[in-house]
Chain A
């Protein structure tokens, strides 16, 4: 609550700082958007405009016609969707087990999960290349998703565990008393209550995969994800194409963060326990 009024000069300073921080966050994205949507011309323009006057349907058309970017985007979407599915399929049951049972090995399992945080997991794509070629998943969205799921599953597990722990056991017990089995009780009582949180966790899994560069670059050659594609063309393609790719990378992330903004804290707060 408001403590006995701080002087108004402090207030002004506070808001000035807040405004600077907002500009610091948003302005770079705006400038990238200018570069991406401004067509070929803007790259060579000097000095560059700060107002979006150069934008037109034509420059937008150029943006939408960059074929490589959109093909790679589609691969990225597939890989991210697969990552999300795997992270949920593995993380929801494991999270439930951690939240509701005390069993030998729970501690060891937690350690395994937390270990993935201390290691740069994506680098493990290096030795996986060989086995992936043998298994036929090299250079496929599935192969990329397999590695990304290693990143996303521990996260989903911990989030789900904390979500389920937040749902009183009594609710489930009431469901059992009224005739549910463990499974139907979970489906009818626990899952609906945890659904918003699970949705947010899956969005995070999606973004995690969407943004990952290293493993995706190592594991793909022709079926490149957007990040892998952009990394490979960094030194050769014209700047406006790179900017366009950057914008395509950023926009969904911004939207996703907006969707889960109320759950950000619940998700990252779990690191403290």
Chain B
């Protein structure tokens, strides 16, 4: 077991800067998700930790050891690849045993470790087969077993579930969480799927354009996004952002006056989760929302429309609760949960003092 320290790591491909100077520490035994859209640099960062890519500047430490100049095989880590990279010419057993063989472990230990990893991933029955005879989900299990069999100090996972279909992905996600929490390995997990990151990780680092936008626990990331980007990327539907004028210490939200946050300029951004908005009761103060489309999504209803001078807004209401008439063009009076307003400046940075 070991921590991972990334110090001012930058990476350029010729003129293109893939990573600005990134600092990141993953504690011993921690599960950290690198979350971001494609091209944000998350995979590059992971590959730099693995040693598959060399950083332009900065260094990587595993435990106290500087591994920046070491090739992957000397870094003492294991990895699960996006396309699994389960060797097609080897049996499942030989695949799972591969890392141990390379480390010249003795036969008995290899057998024991393979058995253990296979049991953990429920692939005991597949050990004699070749990868071509396995389904995608089974190959995925083999890839994870291969990584766990070496009992690595550090486990790296590069979008390991992205090639599975939706149902299988859900199933594997739960299973991964159970297996990895049992193993207690320090893990970096790259994904572009925010539900995956939220469900699995102890902490999430949200990346964009080669930089880390925010690091925090899933609930911090969800409830208190540090930037407009994070709020917009995490959550489904994403957080709403309304650009509002500030006057005399008050912010006008489509007719509803809210106390301006400390540090507000002439205009502020109000971040609001769709589920933090409710119907205003009769005679209660609220802001006007013009409904365009209503979609029933199982337990919830998603309403898409405009508010505060034509700005788009999406709200989520429980399908079981009281619902307004769902006709397009109808006006609805809404009120936000005052404890869950997320204030940001015009540049999209959270204002201090905002919850």
Within the assembled complex, what's the spacing in Å between the Cα atoms of A46 and B68?
A: 58
Cα separation A4 to B51 with both chains bound (whole Å) = 6
Q: Are B47 and A4 in contact (CB under 8 A)?
A: no
**Complex Cα spacing A5 to B72, Å:** 11
Q: How far is the CA of A4 from the CA of B55 in the complex (A)?
A: 8
Q: Is B70 an interface residue (CB 8 A)?
A: yes
Q: Render A1-41 as a binary contact track against B, CB cut-off 8 A, 1 for contact.
A: 11111000000000000000000000000000000000000
Asked whether, in the complex, the Cβ of B51 is within 8 Å of the Cβ of A3, the reply is yes
B54 at the interface (CB under 8 A from A): yes
Cα A4 to Cα B69 with chains together (Å) = 6
Docked pose: A4 CA to B47 CA in angstroms: 10
Tell me the minimal C-beta distance from A42 to chain B in angstroms: 47
Q: Verify B69–A1 contact, CB threshold 8 A.
A: no
> For the complex, what is the distance from the CA of A2 to the CA of B12, rounded to whole Å?
12
Q: How far is the CA of A1 from the CA of B69 in the complex (A)?
A: 15
> How many B residues touch A, CB cutoff 8 Å?
10
A interface size (C-beta, 8 A): 5
- Interface contact A3-B52, CB-CB below 8 Å: yes
Interface string of B62-86 (1 = CB under 8 A from A): 0000001111100000000000000
Q: How far is the CA of A5 from the CA of B68 in the complex (A)?
A: 10
List the B side residues contacting A4 at CB < 8 Å.
51, 54, 68-72
CA of A2 to CA of B54 in the docked complex: distance in angstroms? 6
Question: In the bound complex, how far is the Cα of B54 from the Cα of A216, in angstroms?
Answer: 56
Residues of B with C-beta under 8 A to A2: 53-54
Point out the residues of chain B lying under 8 angstroms from A5, CB to CB.
54, 69
A3 B72 Cβ-Cβ under 8 A: yes
Q: Mark B223-240, 1 if CB is under 8 A from A, else 0.
A: 000000000000000000
20 contacts across the A-B interface (CB closer than 8 A):
A1-B47, A1-B52, A1-B53, A2-B53, A2-B54, A3-B51, A3-B52, A3-B53, A3-B54, A3-B71, A3-B72, A4-B51, A4-B54, A4-B68, A4-B69, A4-B70, A4-B71, A4-B72, A5-B54, A5-B69
Going nearest first, the 7 A-B pairs with the smallest beta carbon separation are A4-B51, A4-B54, A1-B53, A4-B71, A2-B54, A5-B54, A3-B71
